[in-house]
Structure 1
Amino acid sequence: MKNANVPSAVKSQANADDIDLFWILKVLWRGKFIVAFTAFVGFTLGGYYAFRVAVPIYPATALLVMETERQNVVNLQSVVAENLISGNVRDTGKINTEMLVIRSRSMMKKLVDHLDLMNDPKYNPNLREAVVEEEKSFLQDFSLRKFVWGLFSDAKPQEKIVLTNEQVQEGLISRLNGFFALSPVERTFAFQITARSTDRAEAVRMANGLAAVYIQDGIDQKFDVTEKASEWLSQKAAELKAEIDADENRLREFQDSTDLVSAENLVALNRQLKDMRQRLSLYQEDIDRVNVQMELAKLALAEQDIEKLRAFATRPAYAALAPILGNTRWDLTDIHTSLDRRMQDLKVESISATQKLQGLSISEQALKQQVERQSSDLLKLRQLEGQLQANGLLYESFITRLKEITLQQGLFAPTTRLLSEATPRRATSPRRSVIMMLTLLMGIGAGIGILFIREIMNNAFRAPEELEDYTNLRVLGVVPKLKVKTRKDVLTYTQDHPTSAFSESVNNLRTSILLADIEKEPQVIMITSSTPAEGKTSVSLSLAQNMSGLGKKVLLMECDIRKRIFSEYFDVGSYPGFVSLMMGTAELEDCLIKPMENGPHIISGDKTSSNATDVFSSQKFIDLLARLREEYDYIIIDTPPVLAVPDARVIARHADSIVYSVLWDGTTKSELRAGLNMLESVGTPVDGLILNMVDVKKVKKYGYSGNYGYYYGKNSYYTAD
């Protein structure tokens, strides 16, 4: 029975790479008990860890609020006063800055000192080890491992490292940060200090201790700043007092050394100087006038024409000489005589005016110098007085600030206030419900992972669906593992246990083979496998026994003449094999083995010197099969494995139906692929597959039990054997 339309024996790689969601669901459903078990284990371990192993962590939270308004007792406007008020919160960044201050090593050191942690054995390993050493006995200190190591090792034991107090303190300060968590309260000027410890009371002590240290540190900082400011102000006040004394001495000495009476005298001198300068101007004008008249007189004397001289008298410039020039009774000589006398008078007048001008100029210069000197002295006096007054005002201001600081030192309030002290609270860690839920999910994930890893790493077949999906061939039957003491019991098993799962599976296999081709029922059925020990011989025997129960003549031929394994199932004795029958050295009746009444006839293989492949390729073998077809209704041929020898490929050309046995959870995909391809290469494709020797217990373990009910039922009596 050859079917030319049978699909390829193995799926294409493209289809194998596709993601099959239905396959994923099937894998999960098959492994539901494994997933449930891993989930239970994860849940149990999570509960054990949460309730027995995990150490409870108790939180304690102290709430602090920063003052946003100053409580100014006095108005300090200087830079020093601005430094004194460090608690003014101008923006939310101040809170973050303060939280950094709280986490600083200096603050942790103050906490160590405040709580006296260096004298606490829980935090000082030196003290803890000392206590342990005192409590140890000889037996407690004895270590078998150290003793054995000392016997076989020449190395000297390392001396115990003892940490100094400074090293212990530094390590403690570094670890303390892990005790605390700081967090601002949204949209407020408050923040929280949370301490976590395995001891409820210790968490409260830590949180309140750090809050107290931080608040006290703020007050101490203010006192330090005010103390420094007070010292600075005292020093500056003393320096200013010394400058004031020096200014007073300089002012006194200056007043003693100057002739200045007052500022009013300087005003009078300035007025006198102004009057003197006006007189000088008048004298100068007189001199200029006289000089002009003298020049005019000289010009007039230079003229010899009397009419022309008289004409000069009408000019404005000669108005002073008009009485002389305009006298008509005088002749030229008289005019010259009068002009000479006038010239002499003008010279005398000029000399007198010049002398007065010179004397007045000398007085003006002396008065000017006196005014300048008095002005400079008055300016210096005012500078000295101003400097003295400014230093005096600054001195008074410093004294006032010093008094204000002294007063404020007794009125300091902390810039951060403890709004709520830390109180004992319930443990927040471990979160048992979360841990158990996570471990449950991890258990489920681990179970799913195990399932898919098992499926990915599985290179064999555990379900008929897997076999069909991989090969695109029909699975004709699923045969469970046969439980017999010896191989001789195989033939009688189905007769003795007709309702067993094995018997029912063989019934199903027989029906599937006979109905595979409705038009033509197969007569010669070849059963083969990829490798030895895949159960094909047991299936062949059981199938032959089952078919003989239909009232048909059935012949089972052993064509594995190399191993001749039928001798382990039957007492072949001196029965000749089919080779002898084929060669004509024995008769058919002499070769037939009839182990039971109304059972199948069996022809074993016999030893031959010829090559087995040549035997099955010969015309005699073909003639033998033709002869046997006339004698029997069904001929079942048990062949060698396909991958072992080429015999099965040669015999397959003469068979009506080729049934391929696949060992459950044993035959690898590569072996099956190679065997099917070898049969296809000679034009003899396989008609169907048998999933053989199924271990029912392991099937349930792997989660495939539901997949086999279609093939051999689910009732308990099917699997009783």
Structure 2
Amino acid sequence: MLNRQSGPQLTGADTEAQTGSGDVGQTQLDLRRIQAVFRRRMPLFFASVLLALVVTAIITLRATPMFTATANLIIDRQQQQVVDTQAVLSGLPADSSTVDTEVEVLRSRQLAERVVDTLNLTQDPEFNSRLAPPGPIESVIDGVSVFLGAAAPDAAREQLSAEAAALEKERVVDVVLDRLSIRRAGLTYVMNVSFTSEDPAKAARIANTFADRYMLEQLEAKFDATRQANTWLNSRLAELRVEVQGAEAAVAQYRATNNLLSASGSTLTEQEISTYNQQLATVRAQQAEAEARLRTARAQLARGSTGDDVGEALGSIVVQRLREQRATVSREVADLSGRYGPNHPDMVRAQRQLVDIDAQIQAEIQRIISNLEAQAQVARERTGSMAGSLGAARGTLAANNAAAVRLNELERNAESVRALYESFLGRFQETSSQEGIQESDARIVSRAKVPTRQSAPNVPLNLMLGLVLGIGAGLAAVVLAELLDSGLTTSEEVELRIGLPALGAVPVMSSVADAVDRDLTPVDYVVAKPLSAFTEALRSLRASILYSRLGSATKVVALTSALPAEGKTTTAVCLTRVSAQAGAKVLIIDCDLRRRNVNRLLGIEPTVGLVEVLNGSVKLDQALIHDAPSGAWVLPLASGGFTPKDVFGSAAMDNLLADVRKKFDLVILDTAPTLAVSDTRILSAKADVTVFLARWRKTPEKAILAALKTLDQAGAHVSGVALTQVDMVAQAKYGYGDAGYYYSSYKKYYAA
């Protein structure tokens, strides 16, 4: 069975020290391990970085120079107020969300389509790949098509259906949108409109066109809103006009039907009653005045007055003239009376004349009194007539008031319709006055200038990105290489991954020998340079093998590997010579019936060997060959020694091993690869210990485990694993703690 021994046991102090500083030690170990991984993979890492930089430089140098032009827009918070009317489409509120919304509007596909149409970018080869000059691959394809008789590529490009043209325009819009960059300047109201093109002048032109089209779209939106509002208001006004006319016609017809005609804000009946009231008051006053004059005159006459003092008589011109005549006649009578006496004819004539005048005065006064009576009677009749008319008018007004309830309803309806019509008419006039004076909610702060320096490719930035990508690729390559590296590199890996003790490491001679000694073979080098690092590594392996099975003697040692070309025979021969140099009596038996590598390394061609000894045709002593340089003995295989028989499982092999145990201090069996030949399983079970050899960094872990499983099933005692062909210079770059890690520190210790 496999003896999977652990490493040396820790003492109590060692255990305590390890426990107390385990975390720190583990951290340092991990860091050093990472450092070691990086050191050994440094060529791969720098190759990946260099490759990434070269690829980045090539791509950068071959890239078409691009130029970026930027126009600046601002959401204008201060709007001009040309007319003091409310706009149909109100201005934008200058808040953060509005600015972000306008940024998205500038990125909209509709705006990009308008810019494409305005500048006819579908006919620009920079944006329309169909019009671009064909590249090398396209030229070859077009040439093959022409050669095969296909339609000319140019003719095929020129004829496009409506659907193809629409699809082509969409692709151009996609390219334009990819070249467009809209950014808000921090938290300000400024928006940066940037466009990238191969032509600097074209970049500035397209950026300015985006800004202009954006502002034009805002104005068009307001114009459209105003026109739509005017159209709707106009149609609504026509409807309201008809409604107003109908309502007012209904009011007029109802007034005429119900005699509710009015003027100056009141009905004719009300005006008539008002007139009647005024006239009645007047005639009543006139009646009272006439009756008062009549009563006064009658009262004066009743008191014995001749009527001279009646007021109307006093004011009568006839009476006044008669009185003037009487006064004249009275003066004449007085004059005649003093001159002629009462009987004088002139006196009598004058007196008769005076009497006649008095009679006329009395008659006139009577006529005035009669006139007063007539006037009083007329005034009374006029008052009665006016009162009757007033009563009739009031009756008519009462009927009108009853009909006015419906009239008020009709008037309110007409008034509401009229008010609505007037409000719509006023709004229509306002919106009509706004046409042509709308302003955009944004303005251009600065137009895009023709850029003088290219914006892409940015050589320093690209190289920096290439360096970063190269570092990432290098790290990924290192990790991938480590993951794909299934071989064993250090003794620590042997113990962790295989579960067996690490017996040692046999270096590749070129990594430890001087240049002048590299012409020697390893088996000759151990003899020529007994104090070299290579020889010392074999001594260390010998010591590990001899003391790998404590408590029992270790004389027969089988050396095997999983696969061929693992350095197994070279290690076996070198181990034999080193053991012989140490003073032990050592025998190496070549048990690889197919290869006979021991003969090749030692330069011998025996006629008899192991197979002949097992067959009994020769004695052991006759087949042994003495290795003069080291003093060891060799039991080789003759050139015709291969046989299909199971010679190693025979009793003769057991007897041979029992015999050599008595004659030699150490017997080394050079066996065939475990996975290739079944003979090794038989021999490993007969040996005291089996040493499993694995080529450094080459032998896959799966192969090692499969071979060890086979040996375990055969009952072999595998003492451990030894690494062969170890590059000591490269080994120093592997795991911290391995002996090879410190090779640079102790290699000068060995003598040349």
TM-score range, shorter chain: 0.5 to 0.7
1:546, distance to aligned residue in structure 2 (A): 3.0
Answer yes or no: is 1:449 the counterpart of 2:459: no
Aligned counterparts of 1:431 and 1:625: Cα–Cα separation in 2: 79
In structure 2, the residue matched to 1:86 is: 90
Residues 411-466 of structure 1 deviation map (CA, whole Å, 9 limit, x = unaligned): 54433222333345665555555544444343333333333333333333344443
For 2:447, which of 412, 421, 425 is the aligned residue? 421
CA contact (8 A) 1:529 1:662 kept: yes
Aligned amino acid, residue 160 of structure 2: L
In structure 2, the residue matched to 1:60 is: 70
For 1:160, which of 156, 162, 169 is the aligned residue? 156
Aligned counterparts of 1:149 and 1:393: Cα–Cα separation in 2: 79
Answer yes or no: is 1:263 the counterpart of 2:267: no
In structure 2, the residue matched to 1:214 is: 214
Residues 307-327 of structure 1 deviation map (CA, whole Å, 9 limit, x = unaligned): xxxxxxxxxxxxxxxxxxxxx
For 2:669, which of 614, 627, 637 is the aligned residue? 637
Aligned amino acid, residue 593 of structure 1: I
1:35, distance to aligned residue in structure 2 (A): 2.2
CA contact (8 A) 1:649 1:678 kept: yes
Answer yes or no: is 1:621 the counterpart of 2:618: no
CA contact (8 A) 2:94 2:189 kept: no
C-alpha distance 45-54 of structure 1, shift in aligned 2 (>3 A):
farther
For 1:673, which of 685, 705, 712 is the aligned residue? 705
Residues 348-367 of structure 1 deviation map (CA, whole Å, 9 limit, x = unaligned): xxxxxxxxxxxxxxx99998
The residue correspondences of 1:316-715 to structure 2 (distance < 5 A) are 370-371=396-397, 374-375=400-401, 408-409=434-435, 411-423=437-449, 429-430=456-457, 435-469=462-496, 470-480=498-508, 491-495=523-527, 502-503=534-535, 505-510=537-542, 512-513=544-545, 522-561=554-593, 564-569=596-601, 575-578=607-610, 580-581=612-613, 586-594=618-626, 596=628, 599-605=631-637, 607=641, 611-615=646-650, 620-629=655-664, 633-645=665-677, 647-652=679-684, 655=687, 657-680=689-712, 684-694=716-726, 699=730, 709=740
Aligned counterparts of 1:543 and 1:96: Cα–Cα separation in 2: 81
SS in 2 for 1:6: coil
Aligned counterparts of 1:122 and 1:571: Cα–Cα separation in 2: 76
In structure 1, the residue matched to 2:202 is: 202
SS in 2 for 1:447: helix
1:39, distance to aligned residue in structure 2 (A): 2.6
Answer with 635-644 or 516-525: which moved more: 516-525
CA contact (8 A) 1:462 1:664 kept: yes
1:541, distance to aligned residue in structure 2 (A): 1.9
Aligned amino acid, residue 527 of structure 1: L
Q: What TM-score does the superposition give when structure 1 sets the normalisation length?
A: 0.65
In structure 1, the residue matched to 2:5 is: 6
CA contact (8 A) 1:548 1:600 kept: yes
1:602, distance to aligned residue in structure 2 (A): 1.8
1:31, distance to aligned residue in structure 2 (A): 1.9
Aligned counterparts of 1:682 and 1:539: Cα–Cα separation in 2: 23
Aligned amino acid, residue 203 of structure 1: A
C-alpha distance 155-254 of structure 1, shift in aligned 2 (>3 A):
same
Aligned counterparts of 2:123 and 2:606: Cα–Cα separation in 1: 100
SS in 1 for 2:501: coil
CA contact (8 A) 2:75 2:94 kept: no
Aligned counterparts of 2:142 and 2:71: Cα–Cα separation in 1: 46
Aligned counterparts of 1:646 and 1:240: Cα–Cα separation in 2: 113
SS in 2 for 1:160: helix
CA contact (8 A) 1:479 1:505 kept: yes
Aligned amino acid, residue 660 of structure 2: L
C-alpha distance 582-712 of structure 1, shift in aligned 2 (>3 A):
farther
The residue correspondences of 1:213-362 to structure 2 (distance < 5 A) are 213-226=213-226, 261-266=268-273
C-alpha distance 262-70 of structure 1, shift in aligned 2 (>3 A):
farther
Answer with 558-567 or 534-543: which moved more: 558-567
SS in 1 for 2:648: helix
C-alpha distance 715-227 of structure 1, shift in aligned 2 (>3 A):
same
Aligned counterparts of 2:564 and 2:257: Cα–Cα separation in 1: 140
C-alpha distance 188-364 of structure 1, shift in aligned 2 (>3 A):
same
1:60, distance to aligned residue in structure 2 (A): 0.9
Aligned counterparts of 2:587 and 2:506: Cα–Cα separation in 1: 23
C-alpha distance 511-57 of structure 1, shift in aligned 2 (>3 A):
farther
Aligned counterparts of 1:211 and 1:662: Cα–Cα separation in 2: 74
1:65, distance to aligned residue in structure 2 (A): 1.7
For 2:43, which of 30, 33, 40 is the aligned residue? 33
C-alpha distance 110-533 of structure 1, shift in aligned 2 (>3 A):
closer
Residues 477-512 of structure 1 deviation map (CA, whole Å, 9 limit, x = unaligned): 32316899xx99665454456677655543543455
Please identify the structure whose Cα radius of gyration is greater: 2
Residues 133-155 of structure 1 deviation map (CA, whole Å, 9 limit, x = unaligned): 9xx9xxx999555555666x687
Aligned counterparts of 2:96 and 2:744: Cα–Cα separation in 1: 76
Aligned counterparts of 2:568 and 2:95: Cα–Cα separation in 1: 88
C-alpha distance 561-524 of structure 1, shift in aligned 2 (>3 A):
same
1:214, distance to aligned residue in structure 2 (A): 2.6
C-alpha distance 86-617 of structure 1, shift in aligned 2 (>3 A):
farther
For structure 2, which runs of at least 5 residues remain unmatched after alignment? 8-25, 262-266, 279-388, 514-518
The residue correspondences of 1:95-174 to structure 2 (distance < 5 A) are 95-96=99-100, 98-99=102-103, 101-104=105-108, 106-112=110-116, 114-115=118-119, 117=121, 122-123=126-127, 128=131, 143=139, 145-146=141-142, 160-161=156-157, 162-163=159-160, 167=166, 172-173=172-173
1:610, distance to aligned residue in structure 2 (A): 5.9
CA contact (8 A) 1:660 1:689 kept: yes
SS in 1 for 2:702: helix
CA root-mean-square deviation = 5.6
CA contact (8 A) 1:269 1:371 kept: no
In structure 2, the residue matched to 1:335 is: none
Aligned counterparts of 1:164 and 1:433: Cα–Cα separation in 2: 46
SS in 1 for 2:448: coil
C-alpha distance 517-121 of structure 1, shift in aligned 2 (>3 A):
closer
For structure 1, which runs of at least 5 residues remain unmatched after alignment? 9-17, 272-362
Aligned amino acid, residue 613 of structure 1: F
CA contact (8 A) 1:204 1:424 kept: yes
In structure 1, the residue matched to 2:360 is: none
Aligned counterparts of 1:575 and 1:249: Cα–Cα separation in 2: 147
1:603, distance to aligned residue in structure 2 (A): 2.0
C-alpha distance 53-415 of structure 1, shift in aligned 2 (>3 A):
closer
Answer with 449-458 or 250-259: which moved more: 250-259
1:718, distance to aligned residue in structure 2 (A): 12
Aligned amino acid, residue 590 of structure 1: Q
Identity %: 25
CA contact (8 A) 2:554 2:688 kept: yes
Aligned counterparts of 1:583 and 1:225: Cα–Cα separation in 2: 116
SS in 2 for 1:594: strand
In structure 1, the residue matched to 2:386 is: none
CA contact (8 A) 2:258 2:403 kept: no
CA contact (8 A) 1:481 1:692 kept: no
